[in-house]
Structure formats: C-alpha cells, structure tokens
Amino acid sequence: MTIPNNEVFSVDKASLVRRLKLHLPPHCLLVDEEDLRPYECDGLTAYRQLPLAVCLPENEGQVIDVLRACHQLGVPVVARGAGTGLSGGAMPHARGVVLSLARFNRILRVDPLARLAVVQPGVRNLAVSEAAAPHGLYYAPDPSSQIACTLGGNVAENSGGVHCLKYGLTVHNVLRIRVVSIEGEVFEIGSEAPDAPGYDLLALLIGSEGMLGVVTEVTVKLVPKPELAQVVMASFNDVAKAGEAVAAIIAAGIIPAGLEMMDKPATAAVEPFVKAGYDLNAEAILLCESDGTPEEVVEEISLVTEVLTRAGASHISVSQSEAERLRFWAGRKAAFPAVGRITPDYYCMDGTIPRKRLAEMLSAIAGMEKKYGLRCANVFHAGDGNLHPLIMYDAAKPGEWERAEAFGAEILELSVALGGSITGEHGVGVEKINQMCVQYTTPELEAFHRVKAAFDEGGLLNPGKAVPSLHRCAEYGRMHVHRGDLKFPELERF
C-alpha cells in the first residue's frame, strides 16, 4: 500500500511543538517516540506510521486552538477515537498530528421522554446503552467492538452492527452533531427535531472518515428495549443453500432484528473460544433474531422457521432463554478474536453485495483460497449483504501478506462487479483507496473532491484517505486519466 505523500506538507517539528505547547498543558501533548508508538495504527495493523505529535485535548476550546494552529502552519490533522477501526482511517500522517478525542468521554444528557442522549465523541458505544437501560431504552447500532469503540469513531465510519438490518446504521440513529472545522469554526448539523430544513449535511458528515471536520458532540436516538427477543439458529449442509435462505427470508417480507451467517471455518474457530452451542458439522449456520411483543415474536419465529425449512436447513433450534440468546450472539461477535487464536495474522475484509449473490460470492472466495494458498473464514451481516471474510496469513513468512492483500482486493473488486460496494461499515481509509478507483467514475470522484474542498480547502484533515486522486486511479490502471483531461486540476492536492 502506498503511504500518503508526505512531501506535500513541509513541517518543522520543533516549531510545531512550540506552537502546540501554547494551547495544551504538558500532559495533553505527546512528542517522544515511545509515547507516539501506540498511535501508529488503528485496528488495521498492517499499515503503520508515526505522527509528529499526539494531542489529547480535554475541552472543545483546546480542540479549536489545535485546529487553528495546524491550519495556520499547514499541518495535517488525523482525528482518532478508540483506534478500533479496521481500514486504516486513523493511521497518522508522518508530517502531521493525531488529535485524540479519548478524553471527551462524558455522557452529557439522557432524555427518556425525547428518547435521546447527548454524548461526547469519546464515549464508548456500549456505555450509551448502559446509561439508557434504567429508562428501558438502548442505542441500537452495535458493532462487534461496541465494548471499546467510541461514538466519534462510529460517526466517522458510519458503523453498523448485527442489528443494523432492522434498526439501521449510525446515520439512521444520529440526530445532531457538533463539529469543529479545520479553521477552528464551530457549527452544528441536524437537530433534536424529527427533520431539519436545508441540505442533508448530517448524512454527508456521517461516514466522512474525519475528512470534513472534527466531531465534539453527538446526539443519538434511543429506542425502547423489546419485550422479548429470540434467535433462530439454522444449520445448512451447503454454504450456497445458506446464502439462498437469506434471500428467501427477505423475499418473504420478513425484516429480522438481526440476520447473520458464519461458515464452517468460522464456527470451528468460535465454538472452542465461546462455547456458543454452534453446530460444528454444518457447512454454514444462520442466526436470525426476532424482537417485539411476545405475540409478534412468536408469529415471526414461526414464519422464519417455515422459510428456513423450505430452504433446506438440516437443523433448526430456537433460543429458549435470554442467556441462550446472548450466547448465540456472543459467538458471532467474538468471531474476529476467535480467528485470531488460530492464525498468526488475519486480514478482515468488508465488501457488500446484493443478498441474492451471496452464494456466488462464497463460491468465488473458495476458489480464491486455492489461488492464493490462504485460508479464509467467512462471517456476514447476511441480511444486508455485508461480508466480513477473514483471510488468514503469517506476516513472518515472506510473500504471505502480499498474497493476503491481493486476495482482499479481489474480493472487493468482485463485490463491485456483482453490483455491490467495497465497504459496508468499516470505511475506506487507506485499505480500500485503490478499489475506490473501481467503484467510482471520474466525474463522481471529482464531485467528492469538490465536497472535500468546500470543507477543507487545504486538504489538511486526514489527507490521503478515503478518496483517491485521479492520478492515483490512473496509476492503478482502471481509469486512464491524464492531467490535461482533468476538469478541476486544482483538486489533485488532495
């Protein structure tokens, strides 16, 4: 992977540190290499880079001061939450600073009547639901890393989770955000009302990967805890049948609270780790959750069971207690660390395809395993076609990482060919920036660059991430764009 061009930004570290010391107390500024090392990457550990400094502001005023200073000095800024991201979106810039929002960790208000919570960006995802629980409410988006990931990072990546099929992604559950621009100007997008006039800038900012502004406050929706939730676990002796069963459930007009799929290598890794009760003889299992009133759940479970039986399920069981339901989900949510126990390294992908193409994709991945000589365990947010293939490799063996990277790139590009997308919830970051050249045309990428320029004309916020330059795409061999053909040549600095 090509690291973003560091020569574009000429920064004197000593001058930068002197300037930052004017705005931050000593304990809020890290500059020594041993202190910077923990910030060299996010959850995508294959790409690492040290920043010049790490800022840990404790209030919005300090955020404003740091951004203004960096803007005046022409210093890149990479905002960071908990660092659990999986696409390199929080990887530092070698000539810039990391702006950590870890100390913005307060829940400012929980309003049970309006069913909302106002939180700082460093608040953990799960902590919101814990604070809302006494009121019979919770925050619906639940990434697998919800015990550690933060709301600011969720907003940056538009995170999802196992229940996003019914309750939506982060963008569907955020009402308002407070943002600081690279110039240090504060603005608010959205409102606590059901709708706000004007362009939908809230949807634009959510999922923008820290490239348009730095979030300092988030207002989220809370939803009532369902009276009852149950999970149907279905086994299949053929992976293709499991994929077809997913499409059959949706085609029947059923929108489950969650619909997840794991293949045999994934369940084999998870079961000894979690003891979730998975069928280790099955080639694939489906987890399908229904929630609501007891009457609604009984009816939907009956319909789901009928559809799964017709689709060829070899065994079906239904959770009989809340503890069993949580155990079923614990296995799915522990899939990533479980695979980490059986391989020195793994590469987690994040493509999305139409549900009806799941069987086709799984067959193709099996062929890629042979092509690249690497194993792959598959877990899916099957209900919305979001794939998470876990490519297993050993970074200590020469050539294995390169094969894993090529394996992942082929999965992403096939996702596009099948009518899908290169990402569902992990973002683009540095990981998928080349595949953006496959996903989008020249005019579309030009439009993205114009949006970036409107918010950050100097290209200082998280440069080199998410949206490739058109010349990068030309080098990748997909778009064959030359400088003389560019409609907006000034955009190349991004």
Whether 271 shows a pLDDT value over 50: the answer reads yes
Mean pLDDT of the chain: 93
Kindly tell me if the per-residue pLDDT of 192 is higher than 70.
yes
Report which of 450, 453, 461 is spatially closest to residue 63, judged by C-alpha positions.
Answer: 461
Is the pLDDT reported for residue 107 higher than 50? yes
Cα 487 from chain centroid (whole Å): 32
Least confident of 43-47, 50-54, 156-160, 315-319: 43-47
Inter-residue contact 71 to 183 (CB < 8 Å): yes
Tell me the C-alpha distance between 172 and 160, whole Å: 10
Say if residue 49's pLDDT is above 70.
yes
Confidence of residue 487 (pLDDT cuts 50, 70, 90): very low
- Bridge partners for 233 per DSSP: 287, 317
- Those residues with Cβ within 8 angstroms of residue 471's Cβ, 6 or more apart along the chain or in another chain: 481, 483, 492
In angstroms, how far is the first alpha carbon of the chain from the final one? 17
Q: Would you mind telling me the total number of residues written for the chain in this entry?
A: 494
Give the whole-number percent of the chain exceeding pLDDT 70: 95
For the stretch 407-440, pLDDT in tens is: 999 999 999 999 999 999 999 999 999 999 999 9
Q: What's the predicted TM-score (pTM) here?
A: 0.91
Give the whole-angstrom CA distance, residue 88 versus residue 156. Answer: 12
Among 109-113, 274-278, 397-401, 483-487, name the one with the lowest average pLDDT: 483-487
CA 119/CA 105 separation, integer angstroms: 8
Question: Please, what's the b/e burial string for 311-347 (b: 16 or more CB within 10 A of its CB; e: otherwise)?
Answer: bbbeeeebbeeeebbebbbebbbbbbebbbeebebbb
Contact call for residues 336 and 349 (beta carbons, < 8 A):
no
Q: How many CB atoms lie within 10 A of CB 406?
A: 15
Higher pLDDT, 174 or 488: 174
242-246, 304-308, 427-431: segment of lowest average pLDDT:
242-246
Is the confidence at residue 358, as pLDDT, over 50?
Answer: yes
pLDDT at residue number 197? 85
Q: CA-to-CA distance for 365 and 376, rounded, in angstroms?
A: 8
**Start-end of H helices in 158-293:** 164-167, 201-205, 239-251, 264-274
- The DSSP annotation for 262-274 comes to EEHHHHHHHHHHH
Q: What local confidence, expressed as pLDDT, does residue 88 receive?
A: 96
**pLDDT tens per residue across span 11-20:** 899 999 999 9
Kindly report the three-state secondary structure assignment for every residue of 433-467.
Answer: CCCHHHHCCHHHHHHHHHHHHHHCCCCCECCCCCC
* Count of other CB atoms within 10 angstroms of residue 6: 16
Task: Say if CB 433 and CB 465 are below 8 A apart.
Answer: yes
pLDDT at 493 over 80: no
* Alpha helix stretches (DSSP H) within 22-140: 33-36, 60-73, 125-132
Strand 284-292, strand 228-236: pairing: antiparallel
Query: CA-CA distance, 57 to 66, in Å (whole number)?
Result: 8
Domains of the chain: 13-100 (3.30.43.10), 107-224 (3.30.465.10), 226-432 (3.40.462.10), 436-493 (no CATH)
pLDDT at 6: 52
pLDDT at 193: 84
Place of tokens 């020569």: 7
Whether the Cβ atoms of residue 88 and residue 47 lie closer than 8 Å to each other:
yes
Task: Give the per-residue pLDDT at 491.
Answer: 40
